[in-house]
Amino acid sequence: MKHDEAIARAAQLKPIAEIAAKAGIPAEALEPYGRFKAKISPEFLAERAGRRLGKLVLVTGISPTPAGEGKTTTTIGLGDALNRLGTRTMICLREPSLGPCFGVKGGATGGGRAQVAPMDQINLHFTGDFHAITSAHNLLAAMLDNHLFWDNPLGIDPRRIRWRRVLDMNDRALRSIVDGLGGVSNGAPREDGFDITVASEVMAIFCLARDLDDLRERLGRIVVAERRDGSMVTARDLKADGAMAALLRDALAPNLVQTLEGSPALVHGGPFANIAHGCNSVIATELGLSLADVVVTEAGFGADLGGEKFLDIKCRQAGLAPACSVVVATIRALKMHGGVARNALGTPDVAAVRRGAANLLRHIDNMGKFGLPVVVALNHFTGDAADEQAALGELLAPLGVPLVSCTHWADGAAGTMALAETVNGLIAAGNARFAPIYPDAMPLADKITTVAREIYGADGIDLAPAAAKRLAAIEAAGFGHLPVCIAKTQYSFSADPALLGAPSGHRLPVREVRLAAGAGFVVVLAGTIMTMPGLPRVPAAETIGLDESGQIIGLF
């Protein structure tokens, strides 16, 4: 079997107009970016608005491990297989961030024969959406500091500035900085910091906005600072919302690409699910639902993070109701959750699979709490033992949850046909009864506690005094109806990444709370999670480069 990179490079891609025609998008609605990718025109988006024809399928997974799970490859393989069955299907994915591409992951376009392409372009600058988001965010930061420099007519309290800067790169040195140094002409020195672009509220707004008007309205609601009396100052107060919208206008159009098997895929928006809501854009999802019988979309990290936020934030705001959920797992990852070291995963261990399956079972139970039927997609590795898979099947059988072994990495759509048939069956049965896990009217602290107890298996939450005070201020300002977006480690149900499996009885330590009024949620930072990641000891960037012919290598 060839390496992912060689498979992607050998693929014979179709002109993007041909892919668009297959999806029901006319050539005149395309704004091409080269031969193999294009944006969809605002006029076509307006024409299709409100036409929900298809069913929505959420692909999520168990708590991730270094062994790998393969949600993106499964999403792509499932979409390809559904199309092969004759079910008109659109795939909706997030755009990769440069940070993890050069950090740990090396790329985020799938793998093997289940990839979206052109791989190198999607993983790097793509159509410039992330650059536009970064620029819009930092324009607001610049206008805020400029306002302070020119006599501060809005009366902003420099000690209560809430708006940090962003960069689409992992750079721990920028987490906490002091800016304004160098004398009076450079402004007043103050503490500041950077988040990664995917954690930006502008990114969240970009992904949750319904159209350009909604985008500008949400941008104007961003709270950047407070006055001494505690009243809030917004981007609209700074007159920044118009220029920010201008920077984002072209980026807001969703991007059309293709899988290696020619399925249409909309790749648009890209927040992380550990520090943001982790879903692709509402605009892309709505467009897919207006064109296809089925839309297959992925939420980041485990079902406790991307899955919960997809359901409690994105679906709540956009009025979406998924028909079913696919939970992705691997035997290798389950063994890690069962206590097996990474270097010993090649040795069959049925007992470890049974122990580690507790993680999968909790994720399945959690999806059921939202009213979603579930199928488990077992991403097959060649070293998996038959008795290990059989043991997992025995655990799932009493729950009535199907277990489907998938070989899409090696076989493409042919390796996920059984999964596609199962998903079609769940959709046809119509048993989904989707509802968010908490109501809008519940107090913010109770919403956090509900997620901690019902989804994470915690006994409750521990609010730092500053966080409790901030929650009270947010509610007093009229934002208590918003959902919560909990930022925590992706590796555990708890805030401790070392607690694998399905820990119970722990507490969720809440250290900080941030209001994202434009996005429409409250960010809750738990444990030691950072909103600006750092690079690992050996970053993927060390092996990324150009070959003799100038082609990019090392993105896998």
- Collapsing DSSP to helix, strand or coil, 331 comes out as helix
Is residue 447 part of the annotated active site? The answer reads no
Is residue 381 part of the annotated active site? The answer reads yes
pLDDT > 90: percent of the chain: 92
pLDDT score recorded for residue 28: 97
- Collapsing DSSP to helix, strand or coil, 492 comes out as coil
**Which region among 141-145, 176-180, 189-193, 548-552 has the lowest average model confidence (pLDDT)?**
548-552
Give the number of other CB atoms < 10 A from CB of residue 435.
14
d(CA 253, CA 297): 18
Backbone angles phi, psi at 234, to 5 degrees: -110, 170
Active-site option among 37, 94, 332, 362: 94
Residue 475 one-letter amino acid: E
pLDDT confidence tier of residue 529, bands split at 50, 70 and 90: very high
Residue in the block written with tokens 């590795």: 381
d(CA 315, CA 366): 16
Is residue 105 part of the annotated active site? The answer reads yes
Residue 543 one-letter amino acid: T
pLDDT score recorded for residue 68: 80
- Collapsing DSSP to helix, strand or coil, 59 comes out as strand
Q: List pLDDT tens digits, range 275-296.
A: 999 999 999 999 999 999 999 9
pLDDT score recorded for residue 5: 80
d(CA 458, CA 527): 13
- What tokens appear for 520 in the block? 């429409």
Query: How would you label 73-97 residue by residue, b for 16+ Cβ within 10 Å and e otherwise?
Result: bbbbbbbbbbbbeebbbbbbbbbbb
Overall average pLDDT of the 221-250 stretch: 97
Active-site option among 60, 65, 72, 73: 73
Q: List pLDDT tens digits, range 115-174.
A: 999 999 999 999 999 999 999 999 999 999 999 999 999 999 999 999 999 999 999 999
Overall average pLDDT of the 255-282 stretch: 96
Q: List pLDDT tens digits, range 390-415.
A: 999 999 999 999 999 999 999 999 99
pLDDT confidence tier of residue 36, bands split at 50, 70 and 90: very high
Active-site option among 37, 39, 71, 488: 71
Active-site option among 301, 370, 479, 521: 301
Overall average pLDDT of the 504-527 stretch: 98
Overall average pLDDT of the 419-433 stretch: 98
Report H helices in 370-464: 386-396, 408-411, 417-429, 444-454
Please determine, for residue 243, whether its predicted confidence score (pLDDT) is greater than 90.
yes
**Which region among 53-57, 66-70, 168-172 has the lowest average model confidence (pLDDT)?**
66-70
Please determine, for residue 300, whether its predicted confidence score (pLDDT) is greater than 60.
yes
Q: Which strand (E) or helix (H) includes residue 41?
A: none
Which domains are delineated in the chain?
54-126+253-429 (3.40.50.300), 130-248 (3.30.1510.10), 444-526 (3.10.410.10)
User: Alpha-carbon Rg of the chain, whole angstroms?
Assistant: 23
- Collapsing DSSP to helix, strand or coil, 478 comes out as coil
pLDDT confidence tier of residue 106, bands split at 50, 70 and 90: low
Which CA distances in Å does 177 have to 35, 173, 182, 190? 42, 8, 14, 9
Active-site option among 22, 84, 105, 507: 105
pTM for this predicted structure: 0.96
Average pLDDT, the chain: 96
Torsion of Cα atoms, 353 then 355 then 357 then 361, to 10° = 160
d(CA 145, CA 33): 35
Sign for the CA dihedral angle at 267, 125, 171, 466 comes to: negative
Active-site option among 251, 273, 292, 432: 273
Is residue 150 part of the annotated active site? The answer reads no
| Closest alpha carbon to 83 in 313, 323, 413, 359 | 413
Active-site option among 44, 370, 409, 479: 409
Active-site option among 381, 479, 493, 521: 381
d(CA 294, CA 129): 26
Please determine, for residue 1, whether its predicted confidence score (pLDDT) is greater than 60.
no
